[in-house]
A and B are shown apart, each in its own frame.
Chain A
Amino acid sequence: AQTVTQSQPEMSVQEAETVTLSCTYDTSENNYYLFWYKQPPSRQMILVIRQEAYKQQNATENRFSVNFQKAAKSFSLKISDSQLGDTAMYFCAFMKRTGNTGKLIFGQGTTLQVKP
C-alpha cells in the first residue's frame, strides 16, 4: 500500500520570501504521478503542480517548483516570492500510473501562512 507523509503541520513565511514544503512517500510502484494541491480558505482544491515519476526533470509552474528525488521518495514543493494569496493548506498526493483506478492518496496536509 502507498502512503504519503507531510511532516510539517504548519508553516509560515514572510511575503516575497521562499518556502519549501516537505513530502515523502512510500511505494513499490515504479510508474506513478505526484501532485501538490492547494486548498485556500474557500476550500476549493486547486492543482498546483504535477510530476511524472519517469521524468527526471523537476516540474515547474511559475513560482512553484518541486524537488523530486525518486530514490529517496521525496517530493518537496518550493514556493518562490510568496504572496498573500498563497496562504492555504497544501496537500501532497500520489497516484499509481499502471492499473490506474485514478485514486489519489493524500498526505496529512501543511497549513501555510504568508505574512505581510
Chain B
Amino acid sequence: GAVVSQHPSRVICKSGTSVKIECRSLDFQATTMFWYRQFPKQSLMLMATSNEGSKATYEQGVEKDKFLINHASLTLSTLTVTSAHPEDSSFYICSARSEVKAETQYFGPGTRLLVL
C-alpha cells in the first residue's frame, strides 16, 4: 500500500515550452502533497506544499508564476513548469502525506526534466 506515482518519468522539452508533471496517490487520500527539486548528488529542496482545494504554499525563492501547482483532488497534484529554460532542468520529486499516519510521507519515483 501507500504508493505514489509520477508521470512522466522523463521529459525532454524545448526552451520556452511548458511541462506538466502529475503526482498521484494510488491507494490513499492525500490532502497535502509536496514538491521537491533535486540536483545531482544533492539533497531534496522543498519547492512548495500543495493543499487540496486551496492555493499552494511556496518556499522562499521559488517563483509561483514559474512553477504552477494545482491540487484538484485528494489523489492528484500537478506541477507545471512554465516557459521552461535550461536552468529548470532537474529531478523533480513529489510526496504525499498520509492522513492516517500524518507524520509519514510517501515519495513518488521522480521526474527527470531536461530543457534544451
Binding site for B on A (CB under 8 A): 33, 37, 42-47, 50, 52, 89, 91, 95, 97, 100-104, 106-109, 111
Contact = CB atoms under 8 A, between A and B. Distances in A.
B103 A33 contact: yes
Given A44-B109, A100-B102, A103-B34, A108 B49 contact: no
B42 to A, nearest CB: 7
Interface of B: 32, 34, 38, 41-44, 46, 49, 91, 93, 95, 97, 102-105, 107, 109-110
A102 B50 CA distance: 11
A12 to B, nearest CB: 15
Contacts of A42: 109
Contact of B103 (A100, A107, A108): A100
A43 B110 contact: yes
Nearest to B30: A102
Which secondary structure dominates where chain A touches chain B? loop
The interface centre, meaning the residue of A42, A44, A50, A102 with most chain B CB atoms within 10 A of its CB, is A102
A85 B33 CA distance: 29
Contacts, number: 53
A106 B43 contact: yes
Contacts of B95: 45, 104
Contact of A103 (B42, B46, B104): B46
Given A43-B110, A44-B110, A45-B93, A102 B105 contact: yes
16 contacts: A42-B109, A43-B38, A43-B109, A44-B109, A45-B95, A45-B107, A46-B107, A89-B41, A91-B43, A100-B102, A102-B34, A102-B103, A102-B105, A104-B44, A109-B43, A111-B41
A62 to B, nearest CB: 18
Nearest to B32: A102
Given A97-B103, A108-B43, 19 more contacts: A33-B103, A42-B109, A43-B93, A43-B109, A44-B107, A50-B103, A50-B104, A95-B103, A100-B102, A101-B32, A102-B32, A102-B34, A102-B49, A102-B105, A104-B34, A107-B43, A108-B42, A109-B41, A109-B43
